[in-house]
């Protein structure tokens, strides 16, 4: 079946450190890939997306590239801030279906 | 243009009571999804509704859970005879029916005591 696997958290970094949160997927076909962010006590916000292989999604300094050969969509940021502390979810969705299939989420803690 | 509004934000129920969770979608959105998030887990799809229709309820437990999205008013997720295992955050998302962007509400955190 289709699934998303994320690296376990929490991930704890110091401010200005480089961030990578790994996401790999299993899918029969070519889904669109998403990263959502959930700040404490809030709902989920779409952070970025990529709809086909080699696409790069980017927003607020975060980037992720759709790698079909490694079935991955790793989230990166060059210099994290305390305000980036949140839970990050990787998800996939097929155009022919409306459901998002979610990873378990990775909690990110940034220390000043 | 207000976002997706969910209420209440926090709900405490005793075992055996009923829980009603409300979701008002964004203006112009006629598609609503409900997801459940158990502690330390990702979101699990529960049900997908359009106005007056349930499109897909494959993620919803067969008993005690029901959902509706009437022609007028918010979408309601109803949980009868709640048990401790129902304690979770319930998120609603709305969509226009095209494109990629769902808009999520802030969720209702249900605690069953």
Whole-number pLDDT of residue B69: 96
Distance CA A57, CA A49 (A): 5
CB atoms inside a 10 Å sphere around CB A71: 17
As given in the structure block, the two tokens for residue B47 are 């049900």
Residue B75, pLDDT above cutoff 60: yes
pLDDT band at A16 (very low <50, low <70, confident <90, very high): very high
**Closest alpha carbon within chain A to B3:** A43
Q: What is the mean pLDDT of chain A?
A: 92
Calculate how close chain B gets to A6, using CA atoms only, in Å: 10
Distance CA B20, CA B106 (A): 16
Whole-number pLDDT of residue A1: 83
Whole-number pLDDT of residue B2: 65
Residues A54-87 have pLDDT tens digits of 999 999 999 999 999 999 999 999 999 999 999 9
Calculate how close chain B gets to A58, using CA atoms only, in Å: 15
Q: Which of A34, A43, A105 sits opposite B42 (nearest CB)?
A: A105
Contact B41 A32 (CB under 8 A): no
Chain B residues within an 8 Å CB radius of A103? 42
Residue B100, pLDDT above cutoff 80: no
Whole-number pLDDT of residue A28: 86
Calculate how close chain A gets to B107, using CA atoms only, in Å: 6
């Amino acid at each position: 079946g289709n699934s998303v696997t994320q690296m376990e958290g929490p991930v704890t970094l110091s401010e200005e450190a480089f961030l990578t949160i790994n996401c790999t997927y299993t899918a029969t076909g070519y889904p669109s890939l998403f990263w959502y962010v959930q700040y404490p006590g809030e709902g989920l916000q779409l952070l970025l997306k990529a709809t086909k292989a080699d696409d790069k999604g980017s927003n607020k300094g975060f980037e992720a590239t759709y790698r079909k050969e490694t079935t991955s969509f790793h989230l990166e940021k060059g210099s994290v801030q305390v305000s980036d502390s949140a839970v990050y979810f990787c998800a996939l969705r097929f155009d022919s279906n409306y459901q998002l299939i979610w990873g378990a989420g990775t909690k990110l803690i940034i220390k000043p | 243009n207000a976002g997706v509004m969910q209420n209440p934000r926090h709900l405490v129920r005793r075992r055996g009571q009923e829980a009603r969770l409300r979701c008002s979608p964004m203006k112009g959105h006629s598609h609503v999804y409900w997801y459940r998030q158990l502690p330390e887990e990702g979101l699990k799809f529960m049900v997908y509704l359009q106005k007056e229709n349930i499109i897909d309820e494959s993620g919803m437990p067969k008993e005690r859970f029901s959902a509706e999205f009437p022609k007028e008013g918010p979408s309601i997720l109803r949980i009868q005879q709640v048990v401790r295992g129902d304690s979770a955050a319930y998120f609603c998302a709305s969509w226009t029916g095209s494109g990629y962007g769902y808009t999520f509400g802030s969720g209702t955190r249900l605690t069953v005591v």
